[in-house]
């Protein structure tokens, strides 16, 4: 499954790793349930990861890089359905074009969300239809580019003038991937490294 340099990021390998590592659910009624999709593009061993750059018109995380996703709607039958619905609404990829490979452990965010990440492979050609309200830009970042940064480990980062603490940040074409999105990405890479 794993070589000395990097894991096997083929969809079948990711599915096996996620199945062998059941997610740790969190419960906090004060937080808003939400879900994101770590969308992997391409069927080979070096997929690209889809991120969105949020517009200044959204309510939360303006201008930040994030995975597709959002808050659970009352009509969503499950958090997986939330992730699929949000993917369709934000970037125009229909649920039938996403193959869910597994679920990861929940994350709490400082903005008041309890986020459940799902990993999915996009199984059809991508004809994006990004939401003008939510999406300013789409990023397709090669997984090995993210892996190379991950291997260097966390760095001391200060947010909001606070005391520096160890954290991961990723950069791509002038865009900064940090915070909850970086933590979920690191969780995914941790699982694949151990797998």
Q: Which residue range is the domain that position 90 belongs to?
A: 11-142
Q: Determine which helix (DSSP H) or strand (DSSP E) holds 177, and give its type and residue range.
A: strand 175-177
* pLDDT tens digits, one per residue of 159-180: 777 788 899 999 999 999 999 9
Count Cβ atoms below 10 Å from residue 115 Cβ, excluding itself. Answer: 27
Determine, yes or no, domain membership for 157: no
How confident is the model over 67-77, as a mean pLDDT?
96
Kind plus residue range of the DSSP H or E element containing 116: strand 113-122
The per-residue pLDDT for range 5-23, each reduced to its tens digit, is 789 999 999 999 999 999 9
**61 touches 136 (CB < 8 A):** no
Residue 167 lies inside a defined structural domain of this protein? no
Place of tokens 């954290």: 167
CATH number for position 107? 3.90.79.10
Total domains in the fold of the chain: 1
Q: Give a yes or no: residue 148 inside a domain.
A: no
Q: Count Cβ atoms below 10 Å from residue 71 Cβ, excluding itself.
A: 17
Q: Is residue 70 part of a domain?
A: yes
Distance in angstroms (rounded) separating the CA atoms of residues 62 and 195: 35
In a domain, 158, yes or no: no
| Predicted model pTM | 0.92
């Amino acid at each position: 499954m794993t070589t000395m340099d990097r894991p096997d990021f083929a969809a079948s390998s990711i599915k096996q790793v996620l199945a062998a590592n059941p997610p740790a659910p969190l419960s906090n009624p004060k937080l808003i349930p939400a879900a994101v999709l770590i969308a992997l593009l391409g069927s080979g061993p070096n997929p690209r990861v889809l991120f969105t750059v949020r517009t200044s018109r959204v309510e939360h995380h303006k201008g930040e890089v994030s995975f597709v996703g959002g808050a659970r709607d009352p009509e969503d039958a499950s958090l997986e359905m939330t992730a699929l619905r949000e993917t369709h609404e934000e970037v125009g990829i229909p649920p039938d074009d996403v193959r869910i490979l597994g679920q990861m452990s929940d994350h709490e965010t400082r903005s008041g969300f309890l986020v459940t990440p799902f990993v999915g492979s996009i199984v059809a050609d991508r004809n994006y239809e990004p939401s003008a309200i939510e999406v300013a830009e789409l990023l397709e970042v090669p997984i090995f580019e993210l892996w190379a940064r991950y291997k260097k480990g966390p760095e001391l980062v200060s947010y909001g003038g606070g005391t520096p603490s160890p954290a991961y940040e990723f950069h791509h074409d002038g865009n900064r991937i940090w915070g909850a999105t970086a933590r979920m990405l690191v969780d995914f890479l941790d699982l694949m490294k151990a797998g």
